[in-house]
Amino acid sequence: MIYFYKDKKINFLRYPRTTNKSLRAWNTADEYILNHLENEKLDKKQIAIYNDRFGFLSSMLHDYNPIIVNFHKSQERAIVRNLENNSINYENFQFLTPIEYPSKKSDIVVVKIPKTLNLFRYYLQHLTKNLKKNSTVICSFMTKHFSKQMLQIADEYFEDITQSLAWKKSRLLILKKPKTYIERDLVENLVVDENLTLKQYPGVFSADHIDPATRFLLDTISIRVKDKVVLDLGCGNGILGRSVHEDNSKAELHLLDDYFLAVESAKLNISGKNVHFHYNDNLKIFDNNYFSLVISNPPFHFDHENNIEVSIDLFKHVARILSEKGRFVLVANQHLNYRTHLEKYFNQVEDLAENEKYIIYECKNISETETDLDEDDDTRFNI
């Protein structure tokens, strides 16, 4: 989609691509930030950008060589692709993960407020470590997503908080006079049961309780001795992978997630010489027919947006990396009707279990049901 701004004409594409023509690579909350910055003197100012999902703000503010803090690998790829697509030189940009800090203090920080407000707190904790006394933080959101908790969180870090008037169903929070920086541990505790508490960073899926779909999968799936190479796809805090590792510690275990803080959370909860972590949004790093088991509670929530296209694309690539007698076991909401899509890539799709809300599928790519398992190969461990 083409966006016109002053003398600039920029073509923005979403990554991953979407067939939904109503979905854009920016919204009016992004535009509101640009409008507000027209009143600021930006020359020689250091700008930092948080949560720029598709690179709209990074592209529009490229003249100032911004610091860009990325929380998702797909976000990083989207930004780079849109910069390259518009022949924008980003050689002097600074790309950071959320556990890295810039070498320079910021004069202006722009923030797209995320759906998870504990993650908004993490943003402010991170950015206030590198602010000047007279710095300004501009936070944008769609009016329908406003919560008083936004103001309460902002008040933890700033003396001066101003909420703008609404413009095209969006608003801004203008934050000034940062309070004295205090180091805080924002890692959260997730109580699984009386014997297990997991650690995780803000923004990881299902922060205050085990997602019921994941619980259903844990209660249903069994691990075989022959499941020697396992992938926890969309690993979150690593609860599925941890269970696999506890029941079959000899298995080579891989945990992958698009969200950086999810991978860092999984590292807090599982370790071992045969455990491998991957911060990535696709499966291209893996060889064909590599995994004997892939397990997943695949994502379809992306901030305030629901979109199953990402999961469907993952299904296609799981079929490639799955061994001949391997299994892909996933849990999903009943209403998503994933069977239709799974049958495009797997020639065996079975319903392992279901309840009123969720269904567990087991997918294979073999021409007929295995009949050559010996007694040892068929040994199973219930997670």
Mean pLDDT of 15-19: 81
Is 131 found in the same domain as 239?
Answer: no
Which amino acid belongs to residue 199? K
Is 240 found in the same domain as 202?
Answer: yes
pLDDT for 154 beyond 80? yes
Whole-model pTM: value is 0.91
Asked if the structure places residue 231 within a domain, the reply is: yes
Phi, psi of 320 (to 5 degrees): -75, -40
Last residue of a domain, one of 125, 159, 178: 178
pLDDT at 3: 61
- Measured CA to CA, the distance from residue 336 to residue 339 in angstroms comes to 9
- Does residue 200 or residue 374 have the better pLDDT? 200
Is 142 found in the same domain as 15?
Answer: yes
Asked if the structure places residue 362 within a domain, the reply is: yes
pLDDT at 301: 61
Domain that residue 149 falls in: 2-178
Is 225 found in the same domain as 174?
Answer: no
Strand partners, 296: 233, 330
| C-beta separation of 362 from 350 below 8 A | yes
pLDDT for 383 beyond 70? no
Is 155 found in the same domain as 207?
Answer: no
Write the CATH number for 357: 3.40.50.150
Is 154 found in the same domain as 20?
Answer: yes
Is 192 found in the same domain as 173?
Answer: no
pLDDT for 329 beyond 50? yes
Q: What is the pLDDT of residues 116-143, one digit of tens each?
A: 999 999 999 999 999 999 999 999 999 9
Residue whose C-alpha is closest to residue 204's, from 255, 242, 259, 153: 259
Phi, psi of 374 (to 5 degrees): -85, 180
Is 173 found in the same domain as 193?
Answer: no
Residue whose C-alpha is closest to residue 290's, from 326, 323, 254: 323
Asked if the structure places residue 183 within a domain, the reply is: no
Mean pLDDT of 28-55: 94
Q: What is the pLDDT of residues 95-122, one digit of tens each?
A: 999 999 998 999 999 999 999 999 999 9
The structural domain count of the chain equals: 2
Q: What is the pLDDT of residues 233-260, one digit of tens each?
A: 999 999 999 999 998 889 999 999 999 9
Confidence category of residue 381, pLDDT binned at 50, 70, 90:
very low
Is 154 found in the same domain as 7?
Answer: yes
Is 366 found in the same domain as 341?
Answer: yes
Asked if the structure places residue 93 within a domain, the reply is: yes
pLDDT at 224: 86
- Does residue 20 or residue 318 have the better pLDDT? 318
Is 199 found in the same domain as 174?
Answer: no
- Does residue 148 or residue 302 have the better pLDDT? 148
- Measured CA to CA, the distance from residue 67 to residue 16 in angstroms comes to 23
Percent residues over pLDDT 70 in the chain: 92
Confidence category of residue 225, pLDDT binned at 50, 70, 90:
confident
Last residue of a domain, one of 135, 160, 178: 178
Last residue of a domain, one of 156, 178, 200: 178
Q: What is the DSSP letter of 166?
A: P
Of the given ranges (12-16, 155-159, 174-178, 263-267), which has the lowest mean pLDDT? 12-16
Is 252 found in the same domain as 357?
Answer: yes
pLDDT for 363 beyond 50? yes
